[in-house]
Structure 1
Amino acid sequence: MTQASGMTHSVRTIAGGFVYPECPRWRDGQLWFADQHDGLVHVLGGAGTRRDSFAVPGGPSGMGWLPDGDLLVVSMNDRKLFRRSRDGKLVLHADLAGVHPFHSNDMVVDGEGRAYVGNIGFDFYAGQPPAPTVLAMVTPDGEVSIAADGLMCPNGTVISPDGRTLIIAESMAARLTAFDIGADGHLSNRRLFAAVDGHVPDGICLDAEGHVWAASPYEKTVLRIGPAGEIVDRVVIPDASPYACMLGGADGRDLFICVAPHHDPEVTTKLRGGRIDVIIAPAPGAGQP
């Protein structure tokens, strides 16, 4: 049991033995996530039973679905966006190398099939200092443009249920940033959604009460952040780091948390300590992803 802002959360593990789980998604009664450093996407039932796995060249990251049901999945190291048809075939959807200076990362896909893809922006593992970078927008036909610039490691991203607001975690700026989404998909009215000083926000998801859940790996915590930007709840994972989260399950209130003992590929590959933890959240998921 973990204590968080006056609430007691019972944390349970439903699946393990992964290298580095990230970018979870809930769709059609199944949990999808990228085991980034193992090069695989896994699909689990809500209770943790493995139903499918498939490889993605360059290591998978963010995922989302087009209106026709095809899956879009980011190739992190290759800086590409692949489209996976329902027969399992992967084809190139867009090349992001022209706008992403370093590894591509998390992503959200809106109801029109537009993908907003973040990237790390600097060589994290080589010890380079953080640098501003861009959020790419990819249209359903694969055209790439820059949706926003000057972002410090644009990472986990959500879109409100009405499709009008995008919220993104800027990991290296300790903040969540919001934008208005225009009819053509372009972003405007950049503003602060929440400052989370002392945290490096990673993967995020949105609930039906307008709260954002944000993984904070270095603090071994998942935060629940209110619409006014205040932290209203937190879940502590004492023995490992949470890197992303997603609401799903039968009633939408299962908060699936991607957990690993470390982020370095060499370390995680040896340990295979990645797992999926779950708590029951106070409100169901909403919006995209």
Structure 2
Amino acid sequence: MRYALAVREWAELGEGPTWDAATGRLIWVDILSSRIHSYDPGSGRRTVMATEQHVGAAKPRAGGGLVVNLRDGVGLYGPDGGFSWLLHDPVAGRRANDAAVAPDGALWAGTMRYDEAPGGGTLTRIAADGSAEEILGDVAVSNGIGWSPDGRLMYYIDTPTRTIDVFDFDGQLAHNRRKFVSVEAGAGLPDGLTVDAEGGVWVALWDGGAVRRYAPDGGLDQVVELPVRRPTACVFGGPDLTDLYITTARAGQAAPHPLAGSVLVLPGAGRGVPALPFGG
């Protein structure tokens, strides 16, 4: 399987790709540059929107606009671009990181400390009405979140643990946390993930220069080597959800690869599951 260049960019910390089926575009963020990017592969049209804070993730809303995981909480952009806070919870030294929309339309939003101190991050479920429940409160770097195609399993990564965990999911909450797979030392750190239509889990390996697919039983199924050292996350997109888009980062590298910070794509990598918009 060979990668191609989808979008040339110089993102410091490109992250959180999402395919918005309603508009036929890819949405992702550059966390440290406080930017939300979009790309329409059909027309080649791109947009860039600045946020006032570091932004960990941006996801479509059911009524239009975006829900965003920001440094000081979760906010809403309306279709007209107007902004309001849904959950304002600033904590000194902490910022937002990855987030995902669950099968019931709730947002699961992660945080981490800037110094990545163990126990400084959280994972919180935010319902459409803005009510919030902290699910995990002892996280270092809250990262990839995804659900099995039938919605009965939830996968989750706290990056320094080197582990993808799996929970049973009851339609709203996650229970019975256990190890799905561990990434061996020297292969990089698990970062963002996505789940395909067959239940395979694709994960980007920070400092590993690759994405991997794990079969539903946890067996390592595919390894795709990339030219960049720091891929961050991946998602299936395109009209038939068969192209795997991969965000990457330049941050922390003295001499990053020329494609670091760009969005790469693996055409025909598999088939994804349509992403649901946030219900609020």
Do they superpose with TM above 0.5? yes
Distance of 2:264 and 2:67 partners within structure 1: 25
Distance of 2:53 and 2:131 partners within structure 1: 21
Secondary structure of the residue aligned to 2:199 is coil
Using the TM superposition, give the Cα deviation of residue 162 of structure 1 relative to its aligned residue in structure 2, in angstroms. Answer: 2.9
Confirm whether residue 18 of structure 1 aligns to residue 10 of structure 2: yes
Amino acid in the other structure paired with 1:147: I
Confirm whether residue 257 of structure 1 aligns to residue 246 of structure 2: yes
Which residue does 1:52 correspond to in 2?
47
More helix by share: 1
Amino acid in the other structure paired with 2:246: I
Secondary structure of the residue aligned to 1:172 is helix
Distance of 2:115 and 2:267 partners within structure 1: 36
Match 2:266 to one of 273, 279, 283: 279
Task: Tell me: CA distance 1:95–1:267, structure 2 relative to 1, closer, same or farther (3 Å).
Answer: farther
Using the TM superposition, give the Cα deviation of residue 48 of structure 1 relative to its aligned residue in structure 2, in angstroms. Answer: 8.0
Task: Tell me: CA distance 1:40–1:132, structure 2 relative to 1, closer, same or farther (3 Å).
Answer: closer
Q: Deviations over 1:103-133 (max 9, x none)?
A: 2210011243311111224613xxxx53364
Secondary structure of the residue aligned to 2:207 is helix
Distance of 2:43 and 2:16 partners within structure 1: 16
Which residue does 1:106 correspond to in 2?
98
Which residue does 1:27 correspond to in 2?
20
In the alignment of these two chains, the number of paired residues is 270
Structure 2 unaligned spans of 5+: none
Q: Are 1:175 and 1:197, in contact at CA under 8 Å, matched by a contact in 2?
A: no
Task: Tell me: CA distance 1:48–1:172, structure 2 relative to 1, closer, same or farther (3 Å).
Answer: farther
Q: Are 2:55 and 2:96, in contact at CA under 8 Å, matched by a contact in 1?
A: no
Question: Structure 1 vs Structure 2: percent identity of aligned residues?
Answer: 25
Distance of 2:254 and 2:68 partners within structure 1: 25
Confirm whether residue 43 of structure 1 aligns to residue 38 of structure 2: yes
Confirm whether residue 247 of structure 1 aligns to residue 242 of structure 2: no
Distance of 2:167 and 2:120 partners within structure 1: 17
Q: Are 1:248 and 1:285, in contact at CA under 8 Å, matched by a contact in 2?
A: yes
Confirm whether residue 67 of structure 1 aligns to residue 62 of structure 2: yes
Which residue does 1:4 correspond to in 2?
none
For the aligned residue pairs, the C-alpha RMSD in angstroms reads 2.6
Q: Deviations over 1:151-187 (max 9, x none)?
A: 442201112333332211220101111122234x222
Q: Are 1:159 and 1:287, in contact at CA under 8 Å, matched by a contact in 2?
A: no
Question: 1:130-279 alignment to 2 at 5 Å?
Answer: 130-131=118-119, 133-183=121-171, 185-198=172-185, 199-260=188-249, 262-264=250-252, 273-279=260-266
